[in-house]
Structure 1
Amino acid sequence: MDYSSSSDSSDDDLLKILENIDTVRDFHIRNDLFAEYSDDSEFREHFRFTKDTANHLAELINDDIQPITH
């Protein structure tokens, strides 16, 4: 049996559907909290860590929390 015409038709239908999809990417803007809380005591009140401790923890987990993008 020859399925090529049927396959071509379904491929065309799929392409039409895909062309009509609007892809909207929503990027989360991250604030620089180290700059936002310039005073170390204010930073510590908010996060319960000093800036040095937060930096050290971020360095430890950085590879695990990096987004995978291409």
Structure 2
Amino acid sequence: MACRFLNLDHHIHSSLEKSLIERKMQYIKDRTESFDDYFPCRIKNCKLKHVRNWLRLFVDHHNNEIKHIK
């Protein structure tokens, strides 16, 4: 139903693919939660633009961490 609503092709994934997708989503969730501990949003009823800016800040921070590791 969601694929039809978004006008996407429906695909059935293997167990391995499902596992990889779940692991990646959990990684993203864990990283954003730990980032939020350091840079929380304190605005009540914040707007979508503010959420996008917060996510951009997270991505920049994450990319800088990766650069320093390599």
Question: TM > 0.5 between the two?
Answer: no
Normalised by the size of structure 2, how large is the TM-score?
Answer: 0.32
Structure number with greater Rg is: 1
Greater share of residues in helix: 2
Which structure is richer in relative contact order (CA contacts within 8 A, separation 6 or more)? 2
